[in-house]
């Protein structure tokens, strides 16, 4: 049987990346790096929501056991945010770590391993 592929949004994502399936909420989270936004898709309701951050984001990962809290990366920083997944607004709760002061580099893809440790890579910014 061939897989079923369907379009889930009419939004024009510029560079959709870093998908994360949250089995607890049965939701897919992803970022649009160049669109500077985070997204949530709920297959059961076909609802697709967006919050614009205004800076390049490369990952979004729900914080286990913390409702509406996520780790995102903004440029060189690892940041804790609060987002209900429905509104267009987020609250930055805390900058957890500034990876490096070299402004030529930015955080790129990342994921958590099975023990909850965050692994992320960095790259040179476009010039």
Structural domain spans, the chain: 16-117
Residue 24 assigned as binding residue: no
The reported pLDDT for the residue numbered 102 is: 64
Tell me which DSSP letter residue 2 carries: P
The reported pLDDT for the residue numbered 68 is: 96
Per-residue pLDDT for 93 more than 70?
yes
Residue 108 assigned as binding residue: yes
Residue 89's Cα: distance from chain center in Å?
A: 14
The reported pLDDT for the residue numbered 33 is: 92
Mean of pLDDT values over 73-90: 94
> How far is it, in rounded angstroms, from Cα 16 to Cα 31?
6
Task: Give helix then strand counts, H and E, for the chain.
Answer: 0, 10
The reported pLDDT for the residue numbered 123 is: 78
Closest by CA position to 58, among listed 74, 78, 42, 40: 74
Residue 12 assigned as binding residue: no
The reported pLDDT for the residue numbered 26 is: 96
Residue 122: pLDDT band with limits 50, 70, 90: confident
pLDDT tens across 20-74, in order? 999 999 999 999 999 999 999 999 999 999 999 999 899 999 999 999 999 999 9
The reported pLDDT for the residue numbered 28 is: 96
């Amino acid at each position: 049987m061939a897989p079923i592929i369907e379009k889930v949004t009419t939004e024009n994502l510029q560079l959709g990346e870093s998908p994360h399936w949250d089995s607890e909420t049965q939701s897919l989270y992803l970022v649009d790096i160049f669109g500077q936004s985070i997204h949530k898709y709920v297959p059961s309701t076909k609802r697709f929501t967006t919050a614009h951050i205004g800076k390049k984001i490369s990952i979004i990962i729900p914080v286990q056991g913390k409702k509406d809290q996520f780790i995102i990366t903004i440029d060189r920083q690892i940041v804790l945010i609060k987002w209900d997944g429905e509104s267009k607004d987020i609250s930055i709760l805390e900058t957890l770590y500034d990876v490096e002061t070299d402004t030529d580099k930015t955080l790129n893809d990342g994921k958590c391993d099975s023990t909850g440790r965050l692994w992320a890579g960095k790259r040179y910014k476009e010039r």
